[in-house]
Structure formats: C-alpha cells, structure tokens
Amino acid sequence: MALYLGLDSSTQSLTAVIIEIDRDRRRLVLETTLGFDEELPQYGTRHGVLPDPDPAVGVSPPLMWVDALDLMMGRLADSGVDVREIAAVSGSAQQHGSVYLDATAGTALASLDAGTALVDQLRGRFSRETSPIWMDATTAEECAEITAAVGGEVQLARRTGSRAFERFTGPQIRKFFKRTPSAYQHTDRIHLVSSFLASLLTGRHAPLDPGDGSGMNLMDLAARDWWPRAVEATAPGLRNKLPVIVAPWSRVGTLARYWQIRYGFPAAQVIAWTGDNPSSLVGAGLVEEGRLAISLGTSDTVFGPMSEPRVDESGTGHVFGAPTGAYMGLTCFQNGSLAREHVRTALGLTWSEFSHTLASTPPGNGGRVMLPWFSPEITPPVSTPAVHRYGPTGDGATDVRAVVEAQQLSMALHSRWMAREVDTIHATGGAAVNREILQVMADVFGTSVFQLPAGNSAALGAALRAAHAHLSDADRSLTWLDVVAGLAKPLAISRVDPNPDRHAMYRDMMPVYAACEAHARGCGPDPGQWLERVARRG
C-alpha cells in the first residue's frame, strides 16, 4: 500500500488529503480541515486575516500557519490512518503571500527539537512579524516603479506572465524595502507561503516551483528562473534572499526528524510545494487543454491549462507555470465567497435559504445589476470598496441573484482572453456544493458544469503531485492522465446543464454588465437605457 499526503494552506484554513494509489486501487482515504479563526483564535484573525481599519491592507501572522501545520500533522498521526505508509508529501498555499526570515532561521530549521512545539522554535526568527497576502492592495506606487524600471507593462507581462499587480510578491517586497530598509537588510530569506511550509517539513530552506514563482512579477516565465532585470528593479540585494526555483516535480527533501520523532511519520519524500491554483489544476483533473476550472473559494478564480503562454498583456489575467511543466491561464476575483457571505448575512439567511431565494428569482433579475465590491477588487481593478446598484430598486431577494449573476458575468467577461473553446467547467472550492450557483454559472457560460468530488482540489492536487513524483521514479512512462484517473474526476451525477434561452439572455446581458462595470469605475456612460431593455425582456 502507498499513501500520499497533500496539504493546502489557504486563506481561512489548512486542509489535508490522504490518497491511496496502488496498481488496482485508488481512493481518497482522508480529508480534514482546520479553520484558522476557530481553532487558533489566539492569533486574532478574521477569515484568516488580521483585522485592519484600512480595507486595502491584507496581512496574516505566519506563526499561525506554523502552528496549524504542527496541529494538523498531530491530528493526522491520531486519525487512525497508518501514517507510516506515507511515501511522499506535497502541498500548496495561497499564492503571492510572503514570509521574511532572519539569518537564525536556517539553523533553527536544521536543528528542530521534537520535544518542543514548532511554533516556539520559529518565534523570533521573522524579520517581519506579519505576512502580506493576496488580499493586500497597498502597493500601487511600487507596481508603477517596477513597471517603469523594466520597460513598461507589456514587457513585464511578456517576461513574467503578468503586468504588475498589487498583491504580487515583487511589489510587496519593494514596499517593505522602502518603508523599513533596516528590517529588509536584516532579512536573510524571503519565502512564499508554499516554500515556507515546505521548509518546515524538510528542516531546511526549500526551493520554489515555477507555478508559485510566476505569481511574483520576478520570474522569467520561459526560463523558469529569476529575471535579473525585475529582481534589480524590486530591491537591492534581493537575488541572495530568494529561494532557488526547481522543476515542479522535484524532491526537495524528506520529512525532518521532528515529524518522525514527534508524530511517527516516516522519512517520506517531500515534493516541491506550489500555489493553490496550480495545485487545483491537477486536483481538478485539468492536465490537458480544453476544459476550464472555476474555484469558488475565498477568492473566485477561473483557470485552465495552456500549452503555450498566451499572455494578457495589459489586462487582469495571469499566465503561471503549471505543475505538468506546461502553462496555465488564470483570472482572480477578490470578492468571491466573502461577498456572497456578506449578502447572505445581511439578510439573515442560511445557505439553503440563499439557494432557495436564488432559484426563485428570475434570471436577469428584472434589469437589476449590483457590482459587489465589498472589498477592493482585483478584476476589474477597484481600489476603494463600494457596492454599486443599477436598474429598478430591489429587495433582499434581488440582492441574492444580483451578487451571483454579477460574479458569473464578470468571470465570463474577464476570462475571454484565455481564448479557448470551453466544453466543460469543473467547479471546486467551498461554494461549489451550491447547485443553484452552479446553475447560474452554466447559464452564463453556456457550458455544462460538474462539481468535483473532493472538497479541496488544491490539497487533492498536492497529494496527486506527490504520487506523480514518487511513482515516476519506478515508471518513466507514467502520464499525468494515469495519475489523476479515478481521483480527480468530476461526479457524473453532479452535472448541471445550461438552459439555452437563459444563455441567450445572458449573452445579450454581457455588454450591459460590462457597461455597468465601466460606469462604476468612472470610465463609461450611464447604462440606464440598456438596463431597461433587459428589464423588458426579463
């Protein structure tokens, strides 16, 4: 029997998935989640983020992630699963977030004492106590400086896969260097959340994979190595503080003695960690072009595999490295689950009442459009949170439909740059259990939608990547399709088909929705007259 462990450290929680893959047996053995706010309340986070009066600030305590990993590994050891059978481990983490360690951290990692909690051995070794995460939108100035220094946004996008984004690690590092040069000087190593957690598992500074590396505005996408011009434009001496970049299937070490002695894990291989979205690509079974995944997590993301890097040069899309060695396109929306939750809580609804309300309101919402920018938005870029409403005045029920329709229309509009024929969407993330939301998705995209069986496709993807790396050693002919077969396949019974009339209505509504976005962002005329036409049609 061979077991593989996948971990995913997301914004709000840490999830572990254990799978079994044998010659004629493959199954999900265990899936368990630890919520940061609920289980580690001493860190004072809300939805995994430290509260701040400024909505543009998004930071989390890195020690909370350390504590969560220790707690989770202990829980796995006590779960009844024989963890001694784990052959390989990999993981993923929320993208872009960074962890700043001083020069004592390397020694601490190398000499972890199994008798002392991990968190007590890492405390005091950070040159920056809080980690900026993907929700942070405070680096517009640094984005502009880096863009200018490398020769413009088209050049930056072509080289790194994205124009400059406020949440990307390069602009965040530049801001840290400018604001607190001595703390920057004192920084020995800057990790992404993914490579930081891999370092805790192996007991030494772990390398980065190109999938997560491409979320930094620092990596040359084609060379899969640091782009010196961007690194120099970001901060002095940065090159020596960054991890090395390795192929995504690389073995970066074995589980440190800390895990072996404290919890009884074996010296399992640790495979390079990556970002949650690249890992989800594998967990969603999307190892070849032609299908799209939509993750409805804290953020909503639309992504799909790409054989060639077709970059969205001046837009909001990104091209990342994929775990298969090819590429992936992605567009990220900050107001995902938290915006849906905002509407649900304001109306005092349970999720099942929310779904019922959604199903009982008319598609097109009688010409009402709501732009649900409760927080700053990444796509389209909106720095000051504001909720905009267009069309006739509505009630609570119309807000439920409005938030879901706006999100789906926005995802369809802003993922067009990926320029692909999509025949199927695989839905994942916490809200993918909601069939009424998936129905709006199917109607807007005009495509069948399937729900994936595992709740957390990033953690499943990590377990599958661990299996791929381990099994490839013995069988060089093993393909990615062989690895994901049977485990990352959507459930046939979960299929939601589009309604052709509703799809035609949403196709007509798309330019009206786009006009509302443009008007709300101060770059287009009032869309009132077009909305009246939608209202008459509904």
Binding site for ligand XUL (CB under 6 A): 10-11, 94-96, 134, 167, 215, 275-277, 299, 301, 332
Figure out which of the listed residues 429, 461, 498, 527 binds ligand ADP, where binding follows CB under 6 A: 429
**Which of ligand XUL, ligand ADP, none does 96 bind, CB closer than 5 to 8 A by kind?**
ligand XUL
Asked if residue 13 binds ligand ADP (CB under 6 A), the reply is: yes
**Which of ligand XUL, ligand ADP, none does 430 bind, CB closer than 5 to 8 A by kind?**
ligand ADP
Asked if residue 337 binds ligand ADP (CB under 6 A), the reply is: yes
- The two tokens of residue 292 are 């799209």
**Which of ligand XUL, ligand ADP, none does 166 bind, CB closer than 5 to 8 A by kind?**
none
Nearest to 288 by CA among 250, 314, 327, 319: 327
Provide, rounded to whole angstroms, the least separation between the CB of residue 398 and ligand XUL: 28
- Looking at the Cβ atoms of 16 and 520, the one nearer to ligand ADP is 16
46 DSSP 8-state letter: B
For ligand ADP, what does the binding mask look like between residues 289 and 328, x meaning CB under 6 A?
A: --------xx------------------------------
Taking CB under 6 A as the criterion, which residues in 467-506 touch ligand ADP?
A: none
- Looking at the Cβ atoms of 13 and 365, the one nearer to ligand XUL is 13
CA distance 37 to 47: 6
Geometric angle at alpha carbon 28, from 447 and 494, rounded to 5°:
25
Figure out which of the listed residues 71, 117, 349, 351 binds ligand ADP, where binding follows CB under 6 A: 351
Asked if residue 10 binds ligand ADP (CB under 6 A), the reply is: yes
Give one DSSP letter per residue of 135-201, joined into a string: T----HHHHHHHHHHHT-HHHHHHHHSS---TTSHHHHHHHHHHH-HHHHHT--EEEEHHHHHHHHH
Asked whether the beta carbons of 97 and 132 are under 8 A apart, the reply is yes
CA distance 216 to 173: 10
- Looking at the Cβ atoms of 297 and 366, the one nearer to ligand XUL is 297
**Which of ligand XUL, ligand ADP, none does 377 bind, CB closer than 5 to 8 A by kind?**
none
At CB < 8 A and 24+ separation, what contacts does 512-521 make? 512/369, 513/369, 513/406, 513/409, 513/410, 513/413, 514/413, 516/369, 516/371, 516/388, 516/390, 517/371, 517/380, 517/410, 517/413, 519/388, 519/390, 520/371, 520/373, 520/382, 520/386, 520/388, 521/380, 521/382
Nearest to 245 by CA among 203, 197, 192: 192
447 DSSP 8-state letter: S
Provide, rounded to whole angstroms, the least separation between the CB of residue 48 and ligand ADP: 7
Asked if residue 433 binds ligand ADP (CB under 6 A), the reply is: yes
Asked if residue 35 binds ligand ADP (CB under 6 A), the reply is: no
Provide, rounded to whole angstroms, the least separation between the CB of residue 14 and ligand ADP: 9
CA distance 109 to 522: 51
- Looking at the Cβ atoms of 168 and 176, the one nearer to ligand XUL is 168
Figure out which of the listed residues 4, 6, 9, 12 binds ligand ADP, where binding follows CB under 6 A: 12
Indicate the burial class of 41 (C-beta count within 10 angstroms; 0-12, 13-18, 19 or more). Answer: exposed
- The two tokens of residue 71 are 């707690």
Cβ atoms within 10 A of the Cβ of 123, count?
12
**Which of ligand ADP, ligand XUL, none does 323 bind, CB closer than 5 to 8 A by kind?**
none
Figure out which of the listed residues 145, 341, 377, 405 binds ligand ADP, where binding follows CB under 6 A: 341
The phi and psi torsions of 294 (rounded to 5 degrees) equal -125, 120
Provide, rounded to whole angstroms, the least separation between the CB of residue 297 and ligand ADP: 3
**Which of ligand XUL, ligand ADP, none does 457 bind, CB closer than 5 to 8 A by kind?**
none
CA distance 524 to 518: 5
Total residue count of the chain as it appears in this document:
538
Figure out which of the listed residues 92, 301, 335, 434 binds ligand ADP, where binding follows CB under 6 A: 434
- Looking at the Cβ atoms of 323 and 430, the one nearer to ligand ADP is 430
**Which of ligand XUL, ligand ADP, none does 95 bind, CB closer than 5 to 8 A by kind?**
ligand XUL
Residue numbers of the site for ligand ADP (CB under 6 A)? 10-13, 297-298, 337, 340-341, 351, 429-431, 433-434
